[in-house]
Amino acid sequence: MEKAYRKLGYFLLLLIPLTFLGFYKTYFVQFPDFEENITAFIHFHALIASIWILMLIVQPLLIINGKNRLHRKIGKLSYIVFPILILSFVPQMIKIINSDAPQTLFFPLADSMLLILFYSLAIGNRENASKHMRYIIGTATVFLGPTIGRIGPKLLDWPESVTQNV
């Protein structure tokens, strides 16, 4: 791993508190008595997205600790986890299409497209560690949009327009 990226796994640990903050008011605060609008699909999406984030954190830590075989095994597990992650967006997209604000479909659709693009490029370049790593980092950055998109209006009382521009 390139020297500049040796601390990447530790940096990606920031996704955990950011995700917690972003989804605190709409999800975590309800535990264990979730409101009716928190469906099994939302729980499943939260679970699979959490697994993906954990994989993003663990993988670079395995590389810097010389655990390349385990890194590859977990990487192969992504061939199952990633398509499930993308499919976990579908129920929410359907809900948005049938809502009063179908224009907000742009956000999960764009996130899905970016995830598919970055992941496909990462897998296509798995023999080129430098490119592979950068494309996987791209998948991590996609998670910042929904997270910041909730932190802004829910915790900081920012208007939606400001949050989306950030």
Structure-token pair, residue 87: 């499919």
Question: Contact at 8 Å (CB) between 25 and 154?
Answer: yes
Residues 18 and 53: their CA atoms lie apart, in Å, by 11
Residue 64's domain comprises 3-165
- Residue-wise pLDDT tens for the chain (166 aa)? 677 678 898 999 999 999 999 899 889 989 888 998 899 999 999 999 999 999 999 999 999 999 999 999 999 999 999 999 999 999 999 999 999 989 889 989 999 999 999 999 999 999 999 999 999 999 999 998 888 888 888 888 888 777 777 6
Before 32, cis peptide (omega within 30)? Answer: yes
Matching residue, tokens 């598919």: 116
DSSP for 79-105?
HHHHHHHHHTTHHHHHHHHTSS-GGGG
Domain count, the chain: 1
